[in-house]
Every structure is written in structure tokens, then in C-alpha cells.
Chain A
Amino acid sequence: MIFNLSGFSLLSFFLIILIGIMLLLIPNMTEKTVVFGVRVPPSKLELPIFATLKKQYRSYVAILIVIFGIGSLLIPPSLVLIQALLTLLFLAPFFAIYLKEHYALERAKKEGGWYDDVVTRSEAELTINGAGLQVWIYFVPGLLILAILFVAGALLYPSIPGIFATHFGANGQPNGFSTKSIWSVFGTGFVGLVVSTFLIALTYVTYRTPLSIDPSIPQSNTRLRIFRKTFVVTIGLILVGLNLVFLITSLMIWGIVAIGPYGGVVLVLAPLFAILVILTLILFRTGQLGSNLKLKGDAVEPEGPNQEDNFVRKDDDVFWKAGMIYVNKDDKRLFVPKRFGVGYTLNFGRPGSWIFIIGIIAIPVVIIVLTLALR
């Protein structure tokens, strides 16, 4: 960590605003037939309850953003822990709001017998749309930044003093020092290497997972193909953002980039926030499983009595606890598309998902150990 915890005031403010906006947008990014984690037949989507619940969700989340946004600025820097926890605390009332809308809709679905008068059909990919994607290309920019870090470090190594600053306060003054070694000079780079490997491996595992198809959604195959590409591009962008942070941090430690008051925090977080904003825009435009894509031929209504258009997707709510947690022992897939959000979530019916969670916890532990080794 390059900045002092007192810099969290600004950090948590921007994080809360950014996360808040993302949460506000989620109902407009999900599959068209999944609302607040409830599977709905397309014919029922015009019912007034949907607009009511969405409006309610938006106003509640907006209130949350205002309260926590102001709160993050008001908490004195001495209460560092509360500052740090504020972003996490923000998510608790948000989940309460989600659950309220989820159960309200689930009740309406049950009472209205929404699936009583529809003909259901199951459809799934036998071959994967977009499997031929040249995935590695999208990781080149991020890995290039990491390569620059290691090359620059190797070139600068002789000129780095025996004892050098590795930690800076929010005011830009150094407050932590290390003796020169491969670990202290390249520590941040190694963290970048671990994180990049993990993200790339994760992408290769997830993007080729076969997916279900909603027969009521036109041009599903095209949508899934574009969605898969968007997903890989998104991870590629995250890789760029994170490795930029690691590169800038390293340059600061090596004394190449001088930082003024708060300069460190701004310099490190600016690329990350910029990437997060771009990411949100890309994900919004595509939508979960390509649901927001405007495709050629979407406007053309199929003519004549086309029996196939009356089919709706089988109700799969039973596999989703609270509409959010997927548990299906009969499903071999470790990753399945999220219901409330864009991207993938774990299948908790598989033991692998627990191993994955442990792995997720292990990575920060590795980073902390490396950081301690740096000091």
C-alpha cells in the first residue's frame, strides 16, 4: 500500500458513488426475462408491478448513495477503520433493498400463477457461440504494462539506493523503508504477475462455459457470441487498470515519479477509476448475455403464425436461492451467468466453488505476505 489510510476519505467517497451508480444500473443490465432474480414469462413483463418495483429500487438506492456519500466525507480521518468498512457497510442495506424487491416479485409471480398458461421449452448450446475467439489478444496490453514494469525495474536496479522508501503517507511523505533486494524492488511486480495469472486463468475457464438459451429472446446465438467477447474485453481492461496501478506504484517506490500532497492517491487511483467507468459503459451497452444489444433485424417482427414464438424458457427459480445464489448438483458447470448483474457467478452445488472461494481469500493473503516481505 502506497498511501496512508487517511486517504480513505476521498477513496471511499468515490468508490461509494461509483458502486452506487453501478447498482442503480443493474436492473437495466440483466436478462430481459429475469427481474430482481425472478424468472418471468415475457408476456407478463408489461404488468405495472415491474415499473413500481424498479422505481422503488432506484429511489432507495439513490437515498443510500447520498447518505453514505456524505457520511464518507464527514467521518474524521482518525476513525480509519470505519472509513475502510464504509464501502462494505454500504452493501448491507443494498442487499436488504434487493431482497425486498425480489420477494415482492416472487410473491406476485406465485399468486398470479404466471407460469400456469405458458408452454415452456428448454434450449441450450451444443456448440459454443464465439468459442473461436482469439482470447490471448485481449490480454496483450495488460501483460505489456507488466513487462514494462520488469524491464524498467531491471534497468533501474543498479541506481536504487540500499535503503529506499516503500510506503508513503497521503501527504506524499515517505513513512516506510526497505532494504534493497529482488523482493523489495519487484514485490509489486510479482503481485501483478499473480493477479494477472489468476484473472487470465479465470477467463479461460468461464468464457467457454456452455449456456442456456432463452427461446423468447431473438438472435440469442449472436447475443451470446458478442457477450462472450465483451466479457473477455472487460477482463483485458481490468488487467490494464490493475497493472497500471502496479507500474505507477513501482515507479514511485523507485523514485522515478515524484508525488506531491495526495498526488500518490490520485496518481494510483485515477487509471483504476477511469477503467471502471469505461467498463460500466461497455457492460451496460452489452447487458447480461447481450440483452441490451441492438442487433440488425431486431426491428423486423416475424410475420405470420410462427408457433415457435410462443415458447418461453423453463422456470429455473428453484436453482437460485434468493434469486442470487446458484445451487445445482446436477450441473457440472462451476461458473454460470449471474442473475442480478453482468458476468458469472459460482455454482455452489459443486465442491469446486468452495475451493475457489478459499483461493480468492488466499490471494490477498499472498499479497499481504509479499508486502510484509517488502518492508
Chain B
Amino acid sequence: MVNLTIEINSRIPIHRQIYDQIKSFVSTGELKSGERIPSSRTMAGTLEVNYHTVNQAYQMLWKDGIINLEKGKKYVVAETRLGKNMCTDFEKREKEIIKEAIENGMSENEVLQVVQTILDRRNEGVKQ
């Protein structure tokens, strides 16, 4: 049960949102290797966005070895060591965000609380 969510009016480009989410689903194991994902034209239909936008995201995912293109234009999640890479990548990005938050006057407790709230909310979502 994995959904893709796109904020239409976000400053983050739509293809980037698609890329980020699929990448994170793979790293958390919600998308397993060998699992099929909808074709770019199907995804464009269900998300009601331009087909080229989805294609762009899929191309990026393919280049990064996150998904494979199989016979018959079927996209499947690739076998990757993304989990490990993701962890170091996550730590690096988190360091920057926390540094920025504390510089802007957030307390350590507040940072922890925000992270906890996000995790809680996510767990609720998974249960559903």
C-alpha cells in the first residue's frame, strides 16, 4: 500500500517530488526490489500530471539504478544497496537541517519533538 503524493503548488518541481518519494519508498523497504511500479503514462493519468514530467522522474530513477526497465516497458524496483547509501545521505542532509534550525533559534528539544511528530504521523499512515 504505497501512494505517491504530489503538491501541485509546491516550489519543488513535480518530477523531483516523484523521484524523491520513490527513492525514499525503496530505502524504507516499502517498495521491494522486483516490485512493479505503474508505467509513466499510467502514473501521469492517475496523478493527472503531464506524461513528460513523470517520464523525467523515471529517467532519473533509472539512471541512479533505483528502477530497471524490463521488456515490455515494465518498470521494476532494482536490486540496490541504496539502503546504506541512503543512511549516509540522510545523516548528511539532517546535519545541515538541524544546524540551520538551531542557528535560527530552535531548541534541541523542539527539534526532537518535530522529528517525533513526523515519525508518529507516518506510523499512523502506515497502519492504515
CB distance from B84 to the nearest CB of A (A): 23
Cβ contacts under 8 Å, A120 to chain B: 8-9
Stretch at the interface among A97-105, A121-129, A234-242: A121-129
A119 within 8 A of B: yes
Q: For the complex, count residues of A whose C-beta is within 8 A of B.
A: 30
What sequence of 0s and 1s flags, for each residue 200-214 of chain A, a beta carbon within 8 Å of any chain B beta carbon?
000000000111110
Residues from 29 to 74 in B contacting A, C-beta threshold 8 Å: 31, 35, 37-39, 41-51
B104 within 8 A of A: no
CB of B3 within 8 A of CB of A124, answer yes
Cβ contacts under 8 Å, A314 to chain B: 8, 48
| CA of A120 to CA of B38, assembled, Å | 22
CB of B45 within 8 A of CB of A331, answer yes
| CA of A330 to CA of B46, assembled, Å | 10
**Considering only CB atoms, which chain B residue lies closest to A311 in the complex?**
B7
CB of A126 within 8 A of CB of B31, answer yes
A142 within 8 A of B: no
Report if A213-B3 is in contact (Cβ < 8 Å); known contacts: A124-B43, A331-B42.
yes
| CA of A316 to CA of B1, assembled, Å | 24
CB distance from A263 to the nearest CB of B (A): 50
CB of A332 within 8 A of CB of B2, answer no
CB of B50 within 8 A of CB of A212, answer no
Stretch at the interface among A52-60, A215-223, A359-367: A215-223
Report if A126-B44 is in contact (Cβ < 8 Å); known contacts: A121-B8, A314-B8.
no
- In the complex, the 9 A-B pairs of residues with the closest C-beta atoms, listed nearest first: A331-B45, A332-B41, A124-B46, A122-B6, A126-B2, A330-B51, A122-B47, A332-B42, A212-B46
What are 28 A-B pairs at a CB distance below 8 A?
A121-B8, A122-B6, A122-B8, A123-B5, A123-B47, A124-B3, A125-B2, A125-B46, A126-B2, A126-B38, A127-B31, A210-B38, A210-B43, A211-B46, A212-B47, A212-B48, A213-B3, A215-B5, A222-B128, A314-B48, A316-B48, A319-B48, A328-B45, A330-B50, A330-B51, A331-B45, A331-B46, A332-B41
State the B residues within 8 Å of A (CB): 1-9, 22, 25, 31, 35, 37-39, 41-51, 128
